[in-house]
Amino acid sequence: MISIAIDGPAGSGKSSISKIIAERLNIVHVDTGAMYRAIGVYAKSLGIASKDEEKLNSLMEDITIDVKLIDGNQHVFVNNQDLTDKIRTKEAGELASDVGTIKSVREKLVLAQRELSKKMSVIMDGRDIGTNVLKDADVKIYLDATADERAKRRLKDILLGGSEATFEEIKEKIIQRDYQDKNRKLNPLTKADDAILLDTTNLNLDEVVSAVLNIVSEKIKD
Ligand code: DC
């Protein structure tokens, strides 16, 4: 069994890259951001604010969170409710960043993530995978890109999806989210000492995939 940890800021391409690598290596992609998003969206549906620690603590005591592969795609269930279609909005990303600052949320999700990695070979992407969730991962990669480049990629996706947004607005949100994810007290986003930094600012998707596959084959060989 192998485990690959991919970390990096919002919009660095973690999920798209991890999905492709998972297919190439025939292993499972676990998108941990989706789990934080699902908790944020679920809490909101109950009227719980994304920074209300007390209410989130009691919510976390009662709920179940499950990750299942359906036709090769990850689905996230909270209390048996499939929230996969509801978590891809900008708002869900911000709710996720907020609930990700809460200890009880992180503890429950990290436990579930570690359980998944014990059962199968995974490529897991998030913010604290190499530094915390899978400290002993076989391969650790930290994907980065400038805020401008990440905002450009996000804008393209949003416009392709038929929604509207401006570059400035997206860049501002990305910078805010970076700040919260890098400066929270619990397991903030940071490169693990033993992670390989891959700056994707000037690379296209195929180039990043090749670079990641090279790193993986070098590491696995050892
Ligand atoms: O990767 P993403 O954009 O789907 O993540 C959404 C938010 O979830 C991110 O801004 C912070 C939080 N998150 C986290 O705290 N830890 C992780 N391992 C993954 C995501």
Q: What is the DSSP string of 131-170?
A: IIITTT-SEEEEEE--HHHHHHHHHHHHHHTT----HHHH
Query: Is the pLDDT reported for residue 222 higher than 70?
Result: no
Ligand 1 atom closest to residue 36's alpha carbon, by position in its atom list? 8
Query: Is the pLDDT reported for residue 120 higher than 90?
Result: yes
pLDDT of residue 57: 98
Ligand 1 shell residues, CB under 6 Å:
10, 32-33, 36-37, 93, 96-97, 100, 126-128, 177, 181
Cβ–Cβ < 8 Å for 82, 37: no
Q: For 41-62, what is the mean pLDDT?
A: 98
Q: For 173-180, what is the mean pLDDT?
A: 95
Q: Which of 186, 184, 208 is nearest to 197 (CA)?
A: 208
Q: For 195-205, what is the mean pLDDT?
A: 97
pLDDT of residue 72: 86
Distance from residue 221's CA to the centre of ligand 1 (Å): 31
For ligand 1, atom 12, name the residue with the nearest CA. 97
The share of the chain scoring above pLDDT 90, in percent, equals 93
Sheet of 65-70: strand order equals 65-70, 73-78, 81-82
pLDDT of residue 220: 86
Q: What is the mean pLDDT of the chain?
A: 96
Beta-bridge partner residues of 78: 65, 81
- Which contiguous run of DSSP H or E holds residue 41? helix 32-45
Distance from residue 33's CA to the centre of ligand 1 (Å): 4
Residues 1-16 pLDDT 10s:
999 999 999 999 999 9
Radius of gyration of the chain (CA): 17
**pTM of the predicted model, to two decimals?**
0.96
Residues 122-156 pLDDT 10s:
999 999 999 999 999 999 999 999 999 999 999 99
Query: Is the pLDDT reported for residue 157 higher than 90?
Result: no
